[in-house]
Structure 1
């Protein structure tokens, strides 16, 4: 049964209220500039910063395959989505207390505690990311899916811009380091929990279910199904691997630019705000592109944005290039996410696409984590620009695949249109 248009837009409105709170939170704990600069001020080297992309990739993507398994038998998933979102702020509240109270410990201990809490936070969120994507797909109309995600991300990133401004005010306040960051962590944790309550009014109809089997065997079976598919998903997996250079812009460039241009810690908050502005604009534009011209076109926009960002990061010698890179990074991040969400659902041949939403990123996660995580060691040895040149060359190869080899999924509206 087609979802009534009025209910569709009401559900979108409640979902974007959730993401407005989460946009504020994600800006204050952003892995784009905020967290890398925080760790560098604690004394972390580029090699240690390499733990950020490695931990984030593994914790955000690997648990998703299990999360989709544990909820596959539920015809209604709103309660699970609410509980996951409500509890997601706990690690950040703990981080706020650790860095906001008491005497400072050794830098090594502080860095370790933060990485453990940060990894736990993303591991927990990674459990429900596929469930959340599937839930949003269920409560919105298929022909408006990319547009709906784009609108939701628009409001998330709009609040992210505001969150970046708040982070700038906090980091430039009289609060000493690291208490200034701790305040941001506390606000982020509270906002995450508060935002979850806006899921409650969303109207959800029962959806398709899959009987639960043995967890590991089920996850492996889903991964094999993805890898054996000949509808174009393997080309997309190759693009994901070849765009691993995006982590150079997210985790390493802000620290490199801080030293290159003589920036201060609060400038990382401005970088985050500009990055969020790029996401805000890109979310709406690419959402419309996805529904009108196909989800594969969103992947092209993503790779083009990454290529431009890396080029400016390498050769941009004026301080203004710092913000151009931030904007391109934001455009890359949001289009990459929209491509992943929508292509994963469109490639899946099953009505319940949660398993593929978890399996597709989990397949590439180990390789992406290894390559991105080792980037810090190579930067310490060869310099940021040299490593970024390699990332740029590889992204050009990804652009070739996106332009000429990535087919529109058969289960997307554009794909069905070509098949008729």
Structure 2
């Protein structure tokens, strides 16, 4: 099995890299940080609704994963499930394009509700894909290359995403509503189609299923046992939950800069490009460091970046400083995504990996749902600066938990080697 995986390693590495690249290109045209929030802001002035945009995407991606784990564990190949489900995270962008184009006829309220339905469909489509996709990547990419792969894939996504964001900024600036948003979402759907083509090329050999769980009662009993007995993993979940809450301000940086600091829409697109470019550089660099050095300090670096980004947005004397806010946001996003995925795939035995992956995402979903809503509520009640201050405080809490309480599998192995040597 290992020989078969390594035989196709280079091919799988590149086709999945291209999948991620064009997936990111799509999200450049439909950015969760700028394009989609600005689109929702044309139909509502509620910061709470703006905050729902990243919340729906994140919760949709995270929430279903534990509930699909039992099914995923029974698969001897993950790719067919991935291809069937990922269609549902790609097609909704075409519907968003149609909704945006016909929004003057539909009216603001109807267009708003239809847009949120499409966003919910897209988020859940990703969620029903995610567990099988992570396990497929964990299967076809050898362990010593996983953080590097996730880093490079995210870098490709952000490189093309930065180009998409810059083009989207020009489209939003130069075309009239609703054609500008409709064209952005149409281009996103085209890029999603190219992404699907590349992931469909993945070569995944079948694997032997070791004693699949046949009934739900046994499965949920195992879930409770993992949470009780694997203390390192449980603390990792606690740290991730606080980390998720600490990122509540990310959805509001650009909106705040546009609405209260006078940032132009084209400049907003450029700032989004800075965010993407930062992630292009940070993803492979931090992924390489995590694989070749240690993953735990890199995880802590992400929490520190959250603190600094929120403090800088809170105290920035001019709009120029928001470029640094975007850089720090990019570092934090990189760590939470790429390094978080790599560490998650290290916990537990291989046959239980879908359960661990499900727990590591589904239990984070409530925080993902609530954090932008809390951030939006704080912004509505007390202003955006209150949201930034709360993010800084929570980011510091995440840093404390990750440093003093989390023992990653890497630390456990080092401690075991030291004890054996002693």
Provide TM-score, normalisation by structure 1. Answer: 0.91
Separation in structure 2 between the aligned mates of residue 271 and residue 246 of structure 1, nearest angstrom: 21
> Against the structure 1 CA distance between its residues 41 and 214, is the aligned structure 2 distance closer, same or farther, given a 3 Å change threshold?
farther
Shift of 1:121: 0.4
Kept in 2, the 8 Å contact 1:245–1:392? The answer is no
State the distance in 1 between where 2:194 and 2:300 align.
36
1:303 shift after superposition: 0.6
Distance in 1, Cα, partners of 2:105 & 2:172: 18
**How far has the Cα of 1:159 moved from its partner?**
0.9
* Pairing 1:239-278 to 2, within 5 Å after superposition: 239-278=239-278
Assess if the C-alpha contact under 8 Å between 1:25 and 1:189 holds in 2.
yes
CA contact (8 A) 1:23 1:156 kept: yes
| Map of 1:60 onto structure 2 | 61
Distance in 2 (alpha carbons) for counterparts of 1:245 and 1:201: 37
Q: Is 1:324 aligned with 2:324? A: yes
1:358 — aligned with what?
358
**Cα 1:404/1:208, change in 2 over 3 Å:** farther
Larger deviation, residues 194-203 vs 337-346: 194-203
2:233 aligned with 1:230 = no
1:382 Cα deviation after fit: 1.1
Report which stretch shifted further, 58-67 or 203-212.
203-212
2:129 is the counterpart of 1:128 = yes
Q: Does 1:96 align with 2:97?
A: yes
Residue 380 (1) aligns with residue 362 (2)? no
Is the CA contact 1:231–1:410 (under 8 Å) kept in the aligned structure 2?
no
CA 108–292 in structure 1, closer or farther in 2 if over 3 Å, else same: same
Cα deviation, residue 32, structure 1: 1.5
Three-state SS of the structure 2 residue aligned to 1:318 is: coil
Unaligned ranges ≥5, structure 1: none
The unaligned stretches of length 5 or more in structure 2 are: none
What corresponds to 1:279 in structure 2? Answer: 279
1:183-213 Cα offsets, whole Å, 9 max, x none, are: 1111111221221121233222223536354
- Answer whether contact 2:378 2:386 (CA < 8 A) is retained: no
Q: CA deviation at 1:73?
A: 1.5
CA drift of 1:43 comes to: 2.1
- Tell me the CA shift for residue 60 of structure 1: 1.6
Deviation at 1:415, TM superposition (A): 7.2
Counterpart for residue 200 of structure 2: 200
By how many angstroms is 1:236 displaced?
A: 1.6
User: CA shift at 1:86, angstroms?
Assistant: 3.8
In the alignment, which residue of structure 2 is the partner of 1:118?
119
Q: After superposition, give the CA deviation of every residue in 1:330-363 in whole Å (9 maximum; x if it has no partner).
A: 1111210123212211112233512211222211
Given that residues 249 and 391 in structure 2 are in contact (C-alpha distance below 8 angstroms), is that contact kept between their aligned partners in structure 1?
no
Offset at 1:108?
A: 2.3
Count of aligned positions: 418
- 2:164 is matched with 163
Whole-Å Cα distance in 2 between the matches of residues 152 and 54 of structure 1? 23
Instruction: Give how far 1:74 is off.
Output: 1.4
Secondary structure at the aligned position of 1:71 is classed as helix
Does structure 1 retain, via aligned residues, the 8 Å contact 2:312–2:321? Answer: yes
Q: Deviations over 1:299-343 (max 9, x none)?
A: 112112211211111111211122211121111112101232122
1:222 positional shift: 5.3
CA distance in 1, matches of 2:322, 2:208: 47
Q: Given the two structures, how large is their TM-score scaled by the length of structure 2?
A: 0.91
Separation in 2, partners of 1:138, 1:413: 21
Q: Is the Cα contact below 8 Å between 1:154 and 1:280 reproduced in 2? A: yes
Quote the offset at 1:246 in angstroms: 4.5
Q: Following the alignment from structure 2 to structure 1, what is the Cα–Cα distance between the partners of residues 167 and 413?
A: 40
Q: Tell me if structure 2 keeps the 8 A contact 1:246–1:306.
A: yes
CA distance in structure 1 between the aligned counterparts of 2:246 and 2:105, rounded to whole angstroms: 33
Q: Deviations over 1:98-157 (max 9, x none)?
A: 111363433222222111110110111111112111111111111111112212222121
Distance between the aligned counterparts of 1:418 and 1:227, measured in 2?
A: 26
CA distance in 1, matches of 2:126, 2:32: 14
Question: Hey, what's the Cα distance between the residues in 1 that align with 2:107 and 2:97?
Answer: 17
Are the counterparts in 2 of residues 296 and 339 from structure 1 also a CA contact under 8 Å?
no
Q: Is the 8 A contact 1:89 1:192 kept in 2?
A: yes
Contact 2:103-2:178 at 8 Å conserved across structures: no
- The separation in 2 between residues aligned to 1:44 and 1:67, in whole angstroms, is 37
Structure 1 stretch 301-310 or stretch 1-10: which is displaced more?
Answer: 1-10
Question: Cα offset for 1:70?
Answer: 2.7
Q: Which residue of 1 aligns with 2:16?
A: 15
Q: Distance in 1 between matches of 2:408 and 2:293?
A: 9
8 Å Cα contact 2:171-2:184 kept in structure 1: yes
1:58 offset after TM fit, Å? 2.6
